Structure 1
Amino acid sequence: MSSSPTIGTALVTGASSGIGAVYADRLARRGHDLLLVARNAARLEELAVRLRAETGRAVEILPADLQQPADVARVAQRLREDARIRLLVNNAGVAVAGSATAADPARLDAMVQLNTVAAMRLAVAAGAAFKARGGGVLVNIASVLGLAPEMFNAVYAATKAFMLVLSQGLAAELRDSGVRVQAVLPGATRTAIWEGAGTSVDALPPEMVMEVDEMVDAALAGLDAGELVTIPSLPDVGDWSKLDAARLALGPNLSRNRAADRYRAGARAA
């Protein structure tokens, strides 16, 4: 197993199951001590006991509900103050399936609070803390739906687009600081998030669904390769490179002192 770019304590959110639990397992085997964050303290402790026994690493649990601002503030404070923490896997999230316009607004609010507000608070706290420590790794779990919002609930897709853009912006801000940023964009992955969203992953074609172990292993390979954006299922990384290059090519024309001719011509005709 490869070593992570920066060895130290890894804080993993949403660590009680699914993607977070597999990250915890893999990072412990790479030599990291762990600080595991999730709501379910019993599941966290069960995972911690297993990983201590199997890897010999120090594993601490920090039960927290990241839909509650006070708990987010508590975890962010730990990121800022605990100099041992050198890696954050910003993974906690929920989904809502179906039409956004027909969804319960309270469920959408709760999803935005966890997927964007809490994730942003932790990412910013980690970025500032790692910069002050001279290095660290910030891994933000986004989704391919941030690139394909037509395929699922619009608000969920928007929260994942937020995570991608946040990662790109923080990577630019933290360039040359010793802090690495990675956005991971999984496709459909077999985890319990589907049940919580009110749908079943088994409704998708099997060829679209990746097992969680394979997804996390691919994401870590992307981290080892120095990728800013990792899309585990994308066969040709050049496709992402072309998309990103096209985005950057828009830059000189995104903000100018005159409207484009096609809009000015229309105004004169009116």
Structure 2
Amino acid sequence: MQTLPTVLITGASSGIGATYAERFARRGHDLVLVARDKARLEALAARLRAECKVAVDVLPADLTKSDDLSVIESRLRDDARIGILINNAGKAQAGAFADQTAEEIESLITLNTTAPTRLAAAVAPRLAQSGSGAIVNIGSVVGFAPEFGMSIYGASKAFVLFLSQGLNVELAPKGVYVQAVLPAATRTEIWERAGVDVNTLPEVMEVEELVDAALVGFDRRELVTIPPLHVAERWDALDGARQGLMSDLRQAHAAERYRSQA
């Protein structure tokens, strides 16, 4: 009987991360759960051990702190049982760009971009060597939408999408699957932490529906999964336009429209 890979999930104490934990536990995967709130992690772990008969390790960590991040990196590098990384931990932006402090900016960028990049880098060499495994990065449709006015958050999620696409180019030939999941508004605690009443939003997806849809994409080995996008061809057109733009680049000379001041 083939042993299922252990799944390490960040931001696992609530919301999307906790739902991923439950879904993978139901599939029979052992888990490593990472988040700041040890009590909530322990409660979730105890329930999943009892209900699903899987092994669940708890690693309390604040991924904005380098020492804590290093602990998780070491676990990913050294634990050969871990074959799936769910990079879910993240935070939203509270207020406009001009209202942000340096500390708030650094914290958001560290959690939303630095942490998932370092964790993916920690596990990727081992997965590539084994020729198997998966990295799932949770982004956001806000990464497409500067009009929403969440400049730092949106930029961080655009980074997550680009990172996922780039990792796919490098790792897919070595047998490693990389998926970017792009939710829209989802009913999680991220809104409360950003000072937003989620009940004031016009449309919100329930977290269980979001994760179940993301796992359909995971099982199909989609590279980019956008659960709230109802016309899949929109993504195909956007990606096709991007590739068309690249084909029109000529590096040796500036375009004709830039060769005069007229």
- Residue deviations 1:139-190 (CA, integer Å, cap 9, x gap): 0000000011221420011000000000000000112211000000000001
Work out whether 1:216 is the aligned partner of 2:206.
no
- Which residue in 1 is equivalent to 2:241? 246
Change (3 A) 1:125 1:254: farther
Is the Cα contact below 8 Å between 2:10 and 2:88 reproduced in 1? yes
Moved more, 96-105 or 242-251: 96-105
* Aligned residue pairs, count: 260
Moved more, 14-23 or 246-255: 246-255
Work out whether 1:98 is the aligned partner of 2:58.
no
- Which residue in 1 is equivalent to 2:230? 235
> Which of 184, 189, 192 is equivalent to 2:186?
189
Quote how far apart the aligned CAs of 1:102 are.
Answer: 1.5
- Which residue in 1 is equivalent to 2:165? 168
Query: Helix, strand or coil for the counterpart of 2:70?
Result: helix
- Which residue in 1 is equivalent to 2:59? 62
Map 1:136-151; keep pairs closer than 5 Å.
136-151=133-148
Quote how far apart the aligned CAs of 1:250 are.
Answer: 1.5
Quote how far apart the aligned CAs of 1:255 are.
Answer: 5.1
Please give the alpha-carbon distance, in whole angstroms, between the structure 1 residues aligned to 2:84 and 2:93.
28
Moved over 4 A (4+): none
Work out whether 1:134 is the aligned partner of 2:98.
no
Q: CA RMSD in A?
A: 1.2
Is the Cα contact below 8 Å between 2:6 and 2:31 reproduced in 1? yes
What letter corresponds to residue 45 of structure 1 in structure 2?
E
- If the length of structure 1 is used for normalisation, what is the TM-score? 0.93
Change (3 A) 1:195 1:152: farther
Quote how far apart the aligned CAs of 1:254 are.
Answer: 3.5
Q: What fraction of aligned residue pairs are identical, expressed as a percent?
A: 55
Unaligned runs of 5+ residues in structure 1 are 1-5
Work out whether 1:35 is the aligned partner of 2:1.
no
- Which residue in 2 is equivalent to 1:3? none
Please give the alpha-carbon distance, in whole angstroms, between the structure 2 residues aligned to 1:200 and 1:152.
17
